[in-house]
Amino acid sequence: MRMVSESDSMGVYSKKELKEFRVLLEGLRARLRGDVQQLTDGALAKGDGSGDSRSPTHIADVGTDNYEQDFALRFVENEQETLREISEALDRIDAGSYGGCEKCLEEGKTPPQSRINKPRLRAIPFTRYCIECERLRESETP
């Protein structure tokens, strides 16, 4: 009689390991949401023209303010993309497919063969690809 392990029921990683990754993802999501809100509020407050100075504003200061606002808003856009990827990673945990490299699976490898290493998932818990496939993807991107 064969005993069923925790990893058999969930796919690539055990329930205990998935719980660790869920905690990492949820913590990262909470931190990023706070950062995004703070940056958005700061960028939009600068752009509302409600400065308390009564002295004339120099054109260079206006240019600097516009640059900083644009930079902050682009950063917010990137952070929102990361939040979307975190949400999708949490969905993969729920679906039982978290931790498997999508490209390896597309190539027909089994879930154990497509497993993304734990150190990579701890560093980038929302990643979809193992290191080898990510390097290949980056080399193919113009």
What burial letters (b/e) apply to 64-89, b meaning 16+ CB within 10 Å?
Answer: eeeeebeebeeebeebeeebebbeeb
Q: Is residue 110 part of a domain?
A: yes
pLDDT digits (tens, 9 = 90+) for 27-52: 999 988 876 666 666 666 665 555 55
pLDDT of 38 reads 66
Together in a domain, 79 and 89: yes
Rg (CA), the chain: 22
Q: Are residues 91 and 104 in the same domain?
A: no
Q: What is the three-class DSSP state of 100?
A: strand
Alpha carbon distance 43, 50 (integer Å): 13
pTM metric for this prediction: 0.70
The answer on pLDDT for 14 being more than 60 is yes
Count the domains in the chain: 2
Residues ≥6 apart with Cβ < 8 Å to 35: 79
Q: Note whether 82 and 106 are same-domain residues.
A: no
| Tens-digit pLDDT profile for residues 87-133 | 999 999 999 899 999 999 999 999 889 999 999 999 999 999 999 99
Q: Are residues 129 and 81 in the same domain?
A: no
* Residue 3 pLDDT: 37
The alpha helices in the chain, defined as continuous H runs, are 6-10, 15-46, 59-95, 102-106, 118-123, 131-140
Q: Which residue has the higher pLDDT, 53 or 122?
A: 122
- 112 and 73 in a common domain: no
* pLDDT score recorded for residue 33: 84
Pair (70, 127) in one structural domain: no
